[in-house]
């Protein structure tokens, strides 16, 4: 069976579009993250009105369309839909439903994410991810959403970056629920996988032809000193655990990897292998690792401008070659790939056009069904607040007006080329390693 043979979108045009998430654009959405801001746990301050996206979704979709997009990835706010445990807010669901009608009217494919880091305020107290109840709650939330919009949405991503959430929420405690306890990692990972499966089943029940994926954050890892055996080994281990752990979980239904410093995350869920129609890759950059580290013996990582293509405004290395390697790596799962996020913080827009061109080149060499650029708009970048500017469109946060950056033109041209080109073919022997 080829990766395409059971892909529900195989006979449709590929996707070229943009991505946002609810909390980062909508504004005024009380949830666990709002509490986090109140407690002073973000470096960049509070989200507040964000970029006023809740009232401007249609206008923003039109901007994406003007930029040549035929797909728009966004997420549904769980806290809006279920503000109190078991109480669903029809008005919020109606709002998303109207937006989806608009997307369809302008010929833009909605790509719907259900979990993008934030939770309703009651969640961590009442049904945290450490309890099996979390799985049922997420499935029920998904079912409500799918009942309302499943007749029109064909592309779903139940979970955005489960591993990033696991590490930041339960290991280093940087984001809600702010727990630092390595012993919880195996259980929470298992529950996230189960929640994905339950959500996929809830979607398929209401929308049998839906294409379901996961958005996995993948990072290129390199030894800081190529001559150092330990640096090389650490880079290999990081790759194996961070990138491949999730790939293997979805590819084989089994996982077994280490998380720092020495937690073994091991488990299996047979149903995972049947829960995906495509694999979503969120790719941004490369980390250089050294072992022992200068401060942490076990190892340290940092961004370096090793590819000589510059660092983004938030210091991430721009490294298109690594994007190609990561896509090769991801193709080992033998599922259609969609780049569910890729982009850069570049307020001056001096680097964005070249970044787009060089990353799009990699798409021409890999069979990829879609590319969703992060992001359409400057938005609230979690712990960093409104500092990093990821938008193809610049946002004035006083008037909330949007203005295209010059690189929108490049994005449009590349989109046209991407959509006109047949899917890149690769010989079976090339890079596709079985899991
Ligand atoms: C990804 C997140 C997204 C955004 C980008 C820059 O990891 O999914 O919300 O913050 O990074």
The token pair that represents 17 in the structure block: 């579009």
d(CA 324, CA 241): 19
Count of C-beta atoms within a 10 Å radius of residue 348:
9
Residues 184, 189, 194: CA angle, nearest 5 degrees: 130
- Compute, in angstroms, the gap from residue 43 CA to the centroid of ligand 1: 16
The pLDDT of residue 429 is 40
Burial of residue 19 (number of CB atoms within 10 Å: 0-12, 13-18, 19+) = buried
d(CA 140, CA 146): 10
Q: Is the pLDDT of residue 281 over 60?
A: yes
Q: Which of 174-183, 295-304, 392-401 has the lowest mean pLDDT?
A: 295-304
The pLDDT of residue 5 is 54
d(CA 54, CA 27): 7
Among 115, 246, 234, which Cα is nearest to 169's? 115
Count of C-beta atoms within a 10 Å radius of residue 318:
24
Beta-strand relationship, 263-268 and 254-259: antiparallel
d(CA 435, CA 432): 9
- Compute, in angstroms, the gap from residue 347 CA to the centroid of ligand 1: 17
Residue 382 Cα: closest atom of ligand 1 = 10
The pLDDT of residue 210 is 96
Task: For residue range 355-408, list pLDDT tens digits in order.
Answer: 999 999 999 888 899 999 999 999 999 999 999 999 999 999 999 999 999 999
- How far, in Å, are 33, 127, 165, 211, 385 from residue 178 at the CA level? 10, 15, 10, 33, 18
- What is the chain's mean pLDDT, rounded? 95
Length of the chain: 435
The pLDDT of residue 426 is 55
Pocket of ligand 1, candidates 377, 382, 384: which has the most ligand atoms within 8 Å of its Cβ, to mutate? Answer: 382
Map residue 289 onto helix, strand or coil: strand
Task: State what percent of residues in the chain have pLDDT above 90.
Answer: 90
Mean pLDDT of 269-287: 97
- How far, in Å, are 39, 320, 364, 433 from residue 328 at the CA level? 42, 13, 12, 9
- Compute, in angstroms, the gap from residue 39 CA to the centroid of ligand 1: 22
Mean pLDDT of 8-17: 91
CB contact at 8 A, 131 and 123: no
Task: For residue range 29-76, list pLDDT tens digits in order.
Answer: 999 999 999 999 999 999 999 999 999 999 999 999 999 999 999 999
- How far, in Å, are 90, 141, 197 from residue 145 at the CA level? 10, 6, 16
d(CA 151, CA 132): 29
Q: Which residues line ligand 1 (CB under 6 A)?
A: 21, 24, 160-161, 164, 217, 282, 341, 374, 381-382, 390
CB contact at 8 A, 44 and 386: yes
The pLDDT of residue 435 is 31
- Compute, in angstroms, the gap from residue 5 CA to the centroid of ligand 1: 31
Q: Is the pLDDT of residue 6 over 70?
A: no
Task: State what percent of residues in the chain have pLDDT above 70.
Answer: 96
Q: Which of 18-22, 119-123, 365-369 has the lowest mean pLDDT?
A: 365-369
d(CA 206, CA 202): 7
Q: Is the pLDDT of residue 230 over 80?
A: yes
């Amino acid at each position: 069976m080829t990766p395409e043979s059971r892909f529900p979108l195989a006979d449709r045009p590929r996707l070229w579009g943009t991505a946002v998430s609810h909390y980062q654009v909508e504004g005024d959405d009380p949830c666990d993250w709002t509490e986090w801001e109140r407690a002073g746990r973000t470096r960049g301050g509070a989200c507040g009105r964000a970029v006023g996206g809740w009232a401007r979704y249609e206008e923003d979709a039109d901007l994406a369309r003007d930029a040549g997009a035929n797909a728009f990835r966004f997420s549904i706010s769980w806290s809006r839909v279920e503000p109190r445990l078991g109480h669903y807010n029809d008005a919020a669901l109606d709002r998303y439903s109207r937006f989806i009608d608009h997307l369809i009217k302008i010929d833009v494919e909605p790509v719907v994410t259900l979990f993008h880091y934030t939770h309703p305020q009651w969640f961590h107290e009442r049904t945290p991810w450490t309890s099996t109840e979390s799985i049922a709650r997420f499935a029920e939330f998904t079912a409500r959403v799918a009942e309302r919009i499943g007749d029109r949405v064909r592309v779903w991503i139940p979970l955005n970056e489960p591993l990033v959430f696991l590490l930041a929420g339960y290991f280093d405690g940087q984001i809600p629920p702010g727990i630092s306890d390595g012993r919880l990692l195996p259980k929470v990972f298992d529950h996230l996988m189960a929640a994905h499966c339950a959500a996929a089943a809830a979607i398929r029940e209401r929308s049998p032809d839906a294409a379901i994926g996961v958005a996995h954050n993948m990072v290129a890892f390199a030894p800081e000193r190529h001559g150092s055996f330990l640096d090389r080994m650490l880079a290999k281990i990081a790759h194996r655990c961070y990138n491949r752990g999730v790939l293997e979980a979805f590819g084989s239904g089994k996982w077994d990897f280490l998380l720092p410093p020495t937690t073994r995350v091991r488990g299996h869920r047979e149903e995972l292998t049947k829960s995906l129609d495509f694999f979503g890759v969120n790719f941004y950059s490369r980390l250089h690792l050294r072992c022992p580290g200068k401060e942490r013996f076990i190892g340290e990582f940092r961004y370096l401008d090793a590819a000589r293509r510059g660092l983004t405004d938030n210091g991430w290395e721009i490294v298109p070659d690594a994007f190609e390697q990561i896509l090769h790596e991801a193709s080992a799962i033998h599922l259609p790939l969609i780049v569910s996020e890729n982009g850069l913080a570049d307020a001056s827009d001096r680097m964005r056009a070249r970044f787009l061109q060089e990353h799009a080149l990699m798409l021409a060499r890999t069979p990829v069904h879609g590319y969703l650029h992060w992001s359409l708009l400057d938005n609230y970048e979690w712990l960093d607040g409104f500092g990093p500017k990821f938008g193809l469109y610049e946002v004035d946060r006083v008037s909330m007006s949007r203005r295209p950056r010059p690189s929108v033109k490049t994005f449009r041209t590349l989109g046209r080329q991407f959509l006109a080109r047949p899917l890149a073919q690769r010989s079976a022997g090339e890079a596709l390693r079985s899991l």
